[in-house]
Structure 1
Amino acid sequence: MEITLVEGDITTQRVDAIVNAANSSLLGGGGVDGAIHRRGGPAILEECRALRASRYGKGLPTGQAVATTAGKLPARWVIHTVGPVWSATEDRSALLRDCYANSLRVADELGAATVAFPLVSAGIYGWPVEDAVRQALGVLGAATPARVTEARLVLFGAETLRVAERVRAG
């Protein structure tokens, strides 16, 4: 699987699946989550509400992943995952890694060949960017999916891309 780093807006990525850094309610929010819901339109929210009414009555647990339609986005699916909130006193990195691993597993089950990931938890959830990149690349680099051929890490801003390139170079 090829891992690419790109600066840009995840909602414009032409891929099979876009990963959403969702909140546990699955009902939209700020940051990446809000942008995906706004750009994708009401079909995403409709499916998220159905998931809440059935399998996820208490919300999607942190680190887990579930797919919906992509609505008006240039993708077939949105894979929603809930990242952990950064804590200086508790190591939650396993939950962050689970977000990538479970999203990749769902993408593979869907038959997606290309998947665009945001930098999960690095926005409003406060995860330090350098470590967030390290966690993402660690999981994606070790993965051996059957169907996914490209995992694209879509980074918001030139500085975030520079950090990611530096982390990847070692």
Structure 2
Amino acid sequence: MVRITLVRGDITAEHADALVNAANSSLLGGGGVDGAIHRRGGPEILEACRALRASHYGKGLPTGQAVATTAGRLPARWVIHTVGPVWSATEDRSALLASCYRESLRVADELGARTVAFPAISTGIYGWPTEDGARIAVETVRACDTGVEEVRFVLFDEKAYAAFETAVA
């Protein structure tokens, strides 16, 4: 069974085999975690994302899917980009959010990654309620059949850390 650990901090400073990027579908950088990963990782990540756009993902990466690139200058081997859903009060998109975690772990398994650091996908600018996002993340990771040994949730603030602490307990 995968070991889950919680860290309060900056995902771009985490030493792991793979860091998960809460990307936008363009794969070309944005705000929040996405912008931070692109800035700190350097131009190699953007170059790899442009190559993906030119080949398989001309229309962008679909919500709930995941794809890997180099980690550039980050303290990791790979970045796994996944596009979380925007939260909706009128439509249940929780299966798409769960798919982000499941697909990221599938890609991690293909790469042979043993440690994977995740942000709290969709809980920032995409508006997902933090407690519900934490519950979905932890339940999905626990239910995944994966070779990943450690999943580290790297949480930017105390509110997110507390929500994940409750979900893990």
TM-score range, shorter chain: over 0.9
Whole-angstrom CA distance in 1 between matches of 2:166 and 2:55: 43
Q: Which residue matches 1:156?
A: 156
Asked whether 1:52 is paired with 2:53, we answer yes
Give the SS at the match of 2:16. coil
* Unmatched tracts of structure 2, length 5 or more: none
Letter in 2 for 1:23: N
Q: Could you tell me which residue of structure 2 aligns to residue 109 of structure 1? A: 110
- What amino acid maps onto 1:38 in structure 2? R
Answering whether residue 89 of structure 2 is matched by residue 63 of structure 1, we say: no
Q: How far does the alpha carbon of each residue in 1:3-41 deviate from its partner, in whole angstroms, 9 at most, with x for none?
A: 111111000000000000000000000000000000000
Could you tell me which runs of 5 or more consecutive residues in structure 1 were left unpaired when the two chains were aligned.
none
State the 1:168 CA deviation.
2.2
Task: Report how many residues are paired.
Answer: 168
> Tell me, what secondary structure is at the counterpart of 1:161?
helix
Q: Report the TM-score when normalising by structure 1.
A: 0.97
Q: Distance in 2 between matches of 1:62 and 1:160?
A: 22
Q: Normalising by structure 2, what TM-score?
A: 0.98
SS in 1 for 2:21: strand
Structure 2 CA distance for aligned equivalents of residues 67 and 99 of structure 1: 13
Match of 2:38 in 1: 37
* One-letter amino acid matched to 1:154: V
CA distance in 2, matches of 1:30, 1:118: 14
Query: Cα RMSD over matched residues?
Result: 0.6
User: Identical aligned pairs, as a percentage?
Assistant: 72
SS of 1:16 mapped into structure 2: strand
Partner residue in 2 for 1:168: 168
Q: Structure 1 runs of 4+ off > 3 angstroms?
A: none
